[in-house]
Structure 1
Amino acid sequence: MKLPTDLMLGRPLEETEERSLPEFVEDLRERMDRIHRFAREKLKIHSDKMKQRLDTTSTETAFKPGDAVWLYAPKRKKGKSPKLQSNWEGPYTIIKKINDLVYRIQLSPRSKPKVVHLERLAKYTEDNPHN
C-alpha cells in the first residue's frame, strides 16, 4: 500500500533487501535531513505569508497621552443577543505609552488605570467604532 509520505520520500526499501548497518544509518540520516529541510522550507513560506497578511491588515496607529480612545472589551449579558451588545467601552484617555504596542489608559481620573495592547484600542469618535 502506498502512503502520501511514500510519494514524497520514496518507497521504503523492501525487507528482502539486505543492507549493512552503516548503509542503513546513512540512508536514514539522508532521508531525515531531506524531510527536515522540506519542513523548514514550508514553515518559512507559511510564516512569511502569515506576516504579510498581518502587516496588510494591521494599522499603525500611534496614540499620544491625552488622546481619547475606545477600548474593545466584549461582555456578554444574559438575555440579550450578542449582536446587539456593544463590544466597545469608553471614552478612555491615554495616560502613558509604555512601548509601541502597550498603553496605560484610564476611564476617569478616579478609576483604576488599565494596561492594554494597541489592537484593543480605536480612536475615539462620537459613535462606537465598529457598531
Structure 2
Amino acid sequence: MRQREQIEQILTRDLTVAKDEILILQSVRSEYERISNLNKDLERQLEECMNELVTTKAVVHSLTNQFKEKIEQLSSEKEKLDEDNAGFRVQLQKLRIDFENSESVQHDFVKLSQALQVC
C-alpha cells in the first residue's frame, strides 16, 4: 500500500506540475498572440504611413513643379516689365527735354514779341 501511495503522490505531484506548466504555456501563448496581433497592427500602420508618405511626396513634387513654373512665369513677366519701365524712362526723359525746349522757345518767343512791340 505504501508504494501505491507514493506512486499516487508522485502522479499527483506530476499532474500538478503538468497543470502548472499548461497554465504557463497558455499564458505564454496568450502573450504570443497579443504580441503577434500588435505586430500585425504595427505593420498595417507602417504600410498606411508609407502609402501616405508616397502620396505626400507626389503632392510635394507636383507643388514644387507648379511653383517652379510660376516662378519662371513671374520672372519672365518681371523682365518684360523692367524692359517696359526702361522704355518709359527713356520716353519720359525725351518728353522732359522736349518740354524744356518748348518752354525755352516760348520764353524766347515772348522776349522777341516784347522786343518787336517796343520798336
Q: Which has the higher strand share?
A: 1
Higher relative contact order (CA 8 A, sep 6+): 1
Q: Which has the higher helix share?
A: 2
Structure whose alpha-carbon radius of gyration is higher: 2
Normalised by the length of structure 1, the TM-score is 0.33
Normalised by the length of structure 2, the TM-score is 0.36
